[in-house]
Amino acid sequence: LWRPKTHTYRTSNDKPDMNFGIPHLDEGSVKQVLIMAATSQQRDMVVIEVKGNLTKEDRREWLMRFRLPHFKRVARVMVGEPEEDYKVYVRETILAEKQAKSDADFQAKKQERARKRLIDLRQKEVEKARIQAEKVKKKLEDVQQRKLLAAENGEEKKDEVLDLEAKEEGKEDEDEADGEAAKEEELENDDETPPKVTLSDAEQYEWFKKPGVLTDISQFVLSQTYQRFGLPDDSEGFEEIQYSWQDKEGCEEHLRRWNLDRKLATRIDDLRPLLPE
């Protein structure tokens, strides 16, 4: 299925615009059926939605869907500084994307050089053909004139005229061979390999990939809900809460500081002044 890419202020990886032009997909009916099927199967499920995992009401809503006894409801908290394996993965991903971009630029420049070189070769061939045509015309005139002179001076000059023609043809063959060799040498010199890129000092310390065109959560939704963000606790119904990157205290402190930073930088879209009574 193909869907046009849209970039509205509410669009994000959490809640992408559907716009398939198929009512059951666009209205979410198919999604609801898939969720119902997922909650009844005995298989591992991972819920990866930023806003849904950070707000208590959304977590409780998801937990209510997975109430069958074969499910073990586990919350895995990954907040703050990642573990080293994840940092390595991020650096490798950034390097691979940087190398792919460098290779694409290299190939584009290489093709442009090849295009210009081909144009130059064609122009040289046209010029060479013009010069060759002039030489042939002049040679024919000279040969015709020599034949007339030979006819006037006697038969002994014919061998000399034929010898001169053979020498000129041999010289032309040598010039053509030199031109072909030069052309092959230019083509062989184009067997370059793309340069290897490296990460900059700043990129070496990147913990996460930079977001693309779409962010995980839209700025509009973030400004509306970030004050309700919190970590899971035992009262929500999880059988196990795992802290993968930092301990519970470190995660709570990181989220607290992050929340304070957002209050200073986040735009409030629904601020309304109070009217005097």
Its sign, for the CA torsion 74, 243, 237, 59, is negative
The predicted-structure confidence for 242-271, as pLDDT tens digits, reads as follows 999 999 999 999 999 998 888 887 776 666
By the 8 A CB rule, do 225 and 49 touch? no
106 or 181: whose pLDDT is higher? 106
Kindly state whether residue 257 falls inside one of the protein's structural domains. Answer: yes
Residue 204: which residues within 8 A CB-CB, separation 6 or more? 91
Its sign, for the CA torsion 207, 45, 227, 265, is positive
Kindly state whether residue 118 falls inside one of the protein's structural domains. Answer: yes
The pLDDT of residue 32: 85
The predicted-structure confidence for 70-102, as pLDDT tens digits, reads as follows 889 999 999 988 999 999 999 999 999 999 999
The predicted-structure confidence for 202-250, as pLDDT tens digits, reads as follows 888 888 888 777 788 888 888 888 888 999 988 888 989 999 999 999 9
222 and 186 co-located in one domain: no
Residues 216 and 50: their CA atoms lie apart, in Å, by: 7
How many domains does the chain divide into? 2
Burial of 85 (0-12, 13-18, 19+ CB in 10 A): exposed
The predicted-structure confidence for 6-62, as pLDDT tens digits, reads as follows 666 667 777 877 777 777 777 778 888 888 888 888 888 888 888 888 999 999 988
Give the domain range for residue 191.
95-201
60 and 149 co-located in one domain: no
196 and 101 co-located in one domain: yes
The pLDDT of residue 7: 63
3-state secondary structure of 240: strand
99 and 194 co-located in one domain: yes
DSSP 228: G
30 and 116 co-located in one domain: no
Average pLDDT, the chain: 81
Residues 49 and 89: their CA atoms lie apart, in Å, by: 21
Q: Would the pLDDT of 160 be above 60?
A: no
Lowest mean pLDDT among 56-60, 106-110, 178-182: 178-182
Residues 251 and 242: their CA atoms lie apart, in Å, by: 11
Phi and psi of 226, rounded to 5°?
-65, -25
Kindly state whether residue 6 falls inside one of the protein's structural domains. Answer: no
- The residue out of 154, 170, 201 marking a domain boundary is 201
114 and 136 co-located in one domain: yes
Kindly state whether residue 273 falls inside one of the protein's structural domains. Answer: no
Of all residues in the chain, the percent with pLDDT exceeding 90 is 23
112 and 182 co-located in one domain: yes
Kindly state whether residue 277 falls inside one of the protein's structural domains. Answer: no
- The average pLDDT across 177-187 equals 55
Kindly state whether residue 149 falls inside one of the protein's structural domains. Answer: yes
- The residue out of 171, 201, 231 marking a domain boundary is 201
133 or 5: whose pLDDT is higher? 133
Supply angle C-alpha 40, 45, 51, rounded to 5.
115
- The residue out of 201, 226, 255 marking a domain boundary is 201
The predicted-structure confidence for 112-143, as pLDDT tens digits, reads as follows 999 999 999 999 999 999 998 888 888 888 87
151 and 69 co-located in one domain: no
Q: What is the DSSP string of 52-98?
A: HHHBHHHHHHHHHH--STT---EEEE--SSPPHHHHHHHHHHHHHHH
153 and 178 co-located in one domain: yes
Kindly state whether residue 219 falls inside one of the protein's structural domains. Answer: yes
DSSP 244: S
Kindly state whether residue 58 falls inside one of the protein's structural domains. Answer: yes
